[in-house]
Amino acid sequence: METLDGRVVVITGAHGGLGRVLVETFGNAKALVVPIDLEGDECFHADVSTPEGNQQMIDEALRRHDRLDILVLNAGRQLVASIATYPLAAWDGLMDLMAKGPFLAMQAAWPHLTRQPGGRIITVGSVLSLTAEAYKPAYVAAKHAVLGLTKVAALEGAPYGLTANAVAPGYMYTPIVEQQLADQMRLRNRTRDEVIASMIGSQPGERFVEPAEVARVILFLASAESSGITGACIPVDLGALAI
Ligand SMILES: NC(=O)c1ccc[n+]([C@@H]2O[C@H](COP(=O)([O-])OP(=O)(O)OC[C@H]3O[C@@H](n4cnc5c(N)ncnc54)[C@H](O)[C@@H]3O)[C@@H](O)[C@H]2O)c1
């Protein structure tokens, strides 16, 4: 088990399916976790799609621990609809949360992450950071954008010993997936079981990815062991991108 003894980590989307497992995984590694979400009594509430929310989140980490070492930018949501019908407000909302939000978080955290070598940024992208799926225009655009942003952070962070990497999970059975099933059924004219089977079928491992499998890779990227890796995108997708 990696140990992050006393390192301060901000985790966004900490009340979600992957976020809760991240909080547990980093806690077990003895990191000082500052969990951020809109929901959940265990979380500091901040809207990470806004400049204010991102600033409040960084201020809270500094207030609690007087330092900041690691950002895990994990908050996300989904709206499934065709380009022709995609609501502009939803486009803006998804882009603000998953593309602009990570930029704002990095901007607010930058002076603290670069204060000493060893700073870490990990963004949660997706298989859809590298490929596309019909009816997810905003999500795919935002996940591509955050991967580009992560690479820029890697280049700008290198002189400070700061690494920035993305993970690209495949389908995990979490609320973001559960909540899109009805729209997928309608748009694809499929039953619930057929939609789920097609998600699993897109992954050669023929199952959902477990959040713990993703959390372990994020923990590694947050640790000193990963010091040679920056600007990378690590798939945790049971082979989906190999097809
Ligand atoms: N589940 C999958 O199949 C899958 C696949 C690839 C990538 N991902 C990515 O993994 C990450 C985690 O997703 P998940 O599967 O745990 O989904 P989830 O819906 O369970 O969790 C997302 C969390 O983000 C929080 N959130 C949403 N908007 C927010 C805001 N404005 N401010 C603060 N918090 C906000 C939600 O409240 C929720 O707790 C997301 O970035 C998602 O895009 C998920």
Smallest CA-to-CA distance from 166 within 112, 230, 118, 110 is with 230
Give the number of the atom of ligand 1 that is nearest the alpha carbon of residue 18. Answer: 16
Phi, psi of 39 (to 5 degrees): -125, 165
Structure tokens at 96: 């603000």
Amino acid 71 reads L
Q: Is the pLDDT of residue 101 over 90?
A: yes
Assess whether the C-beta atom of 230 lies below 6 angstroms from ligand 1.
no
DSSP 207: S
**Mean pLDDT over all residues of the chain?**
97
Q: Is the CB of 174 under 6 A from ligand 1?
A: yes
One-letter amino acid for residue 21 of the chain? V
CA angle 177, 109, 26 (to 5 degrees): 55
CA distance 14 to 19: 4
Beta bridge partners of 45: 37
Distance from the CA of 2 to the center of ligand 1, in angstroms?
A: 24
Picking from 57, 47, 107, 54, the residue whose alpha carbon sits closest to that of residue 77 is 47
Report how far ligand 1's centroid is from the alpha carbon of 12 (Å).
9
Share of the chain above pLDDT 70, in %: 99
* Residue 2 pLDDT exceeds 80: no
Q: Is the pLDDT of residue 135 over 70?
A: yes
Catalytic residues: 139
Contact 84, 24 (CB under 8 A): no
CA of 159 to the centre of ligand 1 (A): 31
Backbone angles phi, psi at 134, to 5 degrees: -60, 150
DSSP states of 86-106:
--HHHHHHHHIIIIIHHHHHH
**CA 16–ligand 1 middle distance (angstroms):** 6
Is it the case that residue 70 has pLDDT exceeding 80? Answer: yes
Q: Which atom of ligand 1 is nearest to the CA of 172?
A: 3
- The answer to whether residue 1 scores a pLDDT higher than 90 is no
Fold of the 8-172+210-237 domain = Rossmann fold (3.40.50)
Residues 6+ apart with CB under 8 A from 82: 134, 135, 187
Instruction: Look at ligand 1, atom 11, and give the residue with the nearest C-alpha.
Output: 74
DSSP letter at 185 equals: H
Going by pLDDT thresholds of 50, 70 and 90, the confidence category of residue 98 is very high
Q: 0.95 cut: is pTM over it?
A: yes
Average pLDDT over residues 92-104: 98
Domain regions of the chain by residue span: 8-172+210-237
Q: How confident is the model at residue 3 (pLDDT cuts 50, 70, 90)?
A: confident
